[in-house]
Amino acid sequence: MIPPRLEIRNIASSYDGMKVLKDISLSVKPGEFVSILGPSGAGKSTLFRLLTGTKSPDAGEIRVDGKMLGDASPAFAFMPQRDALMPWRSIIDNTTLGLEVQGMSRKQARSRVQPLFAEFGLAGFEQHYPAGLSGGMRQRAALLRTIVQERPMLLLDEPFGALDALTRAGMQRWLEGMWMRHDWTAMLVTHDVREAVSLSDRIYLLSPRPAEIIRVVDIPLARPRVLGGTAGAEAAAIEHSILETLLNLTEDMKP
């Protein structure tokens, strides 16, 4: 039996004496797209810091392909909320940055990323600078920089949160197509219920901190997610159910 790509068991974490995560357990299978959804400040980004090794858990364990996180090869390619492109580097040299940090020469790194520019909708913009690109193009460049590192799993921290609604919807549809084509394994942190439903195979809902998983929502919708007609009605029902859960949490927090 193939082990989960990622397995988190009974993780707890605190910050400055404040409990942030409480007994979190979840798993992600190879090729799955899973989202983490919860109130602001629930610890979603803390979970990513644990996965990337910038913070250690107070309790519990994290396994990647059956191995403890510290014993596994570098497992995660991380895409932050902002594109974090360096304004003084051309787009192609921004996309090679992660490879260069790992010790690859710039020439080798360019050879690796160049064939992907057309697929990411960036052909012809290799020598442009970030200031000359739209928000959606900048995010595609940031994702290219992330996936070209060829890690087992993508961590996406609200990657489209700064985009306008129309651009965000287009990027969500584009990301789903790329994920299906390349069979990526991905975990998304988001505040956007519709985004989570449109992209995910499964959604983990977090409570307010100290966060624990209060509900797991499987998304049975066919792909690609063209959410019109019956599929749109099913998606809307799932969104409504999730919103009810989150709103009830908010009501429970009132004095």
The pLDDT-based confidence of 250 (bands split at 50, 70, 90) is low
- For the purposes of burial, counting CB atoms within 10 Å of the CB of 166, is it exposed (0-12), middle (13-18) or buried (19 or more)? exposed
Inform me whether the pLDDT recorded for 11 exceeds 80: yes
The pLDDT tens digits for 66-88 are 888 877 667 888 888 788 899 99
Structural domain 6-75+151-253, CATH architecture? 3-Layer(aba) Sandwich (3.40)
The runs of H, that is alpha helices, within the chain are: 44-52, 91-95, 97-101, 106-113, 135-147, 165-182, 193-199, 229-253
For CA atoms 117, 121, 123, 126, give the dihedral sign: negative
Closest-CA residue to 23 (of 209, 249, 191): 209
So what's the pLDDT on residue 248? 82
pLDDT digits (tens, 9 = 90+) for 157-198: 988 887 888 888 888 888 898 998 888 999 999 989 999 999
* Spatial contact of 149 and 121, defined as CB atoms under 8 Å apart: no
What is the mean pLDDT of the segment spanning 27-44?
A: 90
Q: Are strands 59-64 and 67-68 parallel, antiparallel or unpaired?
A: antiparallel
Nearest to 22 by CA among 237, 212, 224, 152: 212
Angle in degrees, 0-180, between the axes of helices 165-182 and 135-147, rounded to the nearest 10: 30
Give me the pLDDT at residue 149, please.
86
Mean pLDDT of 29-43: 89
> pLDDT at position 223, please?
85
- What's the pLDDT band for 156 if we cut at 50, 70, 90? very high
pTM value?
0.89
Give the model confidence (pLDDT) of 112-144 as tens digits.
Answer: 999 999 999 999 999 999 999 999 999 999 999
Rounded CA-CA distance 21/57 in Å is: 9
Within 10 angstroms of residue 188's Cβ, the number of other Cβ atoms is 25
53 residue type, one letter: G
Report domain extents, the chain.
Answer: 6-75+151-253
**Alpha-carbon separation of residue 74 from 151, 153, 188 (angstroms):** 7, 10, 19
Per-residue pLDDT at 65 exceeds 80: yes
Write the pLDDT tens digit of every residue in 83-104: 889 999 999 999 999 899 888 9
Q: What is the largest CA-CA distance in the chain?
A: 60
Residue 29: count of CB within 10 angstroms of its CB = 15
- Residues linked to residue 34 through DSSP beta bridges, in sequence order: 187, 202
pLDDT of residue 38: 86
**Of residues 182, 181, 213, 216, the one with CA closest to residue 200:** 216
Residue 253 has pLDDT above 60, yes or no: no
In this prediction, residue 219 carries a pLDDT of 94
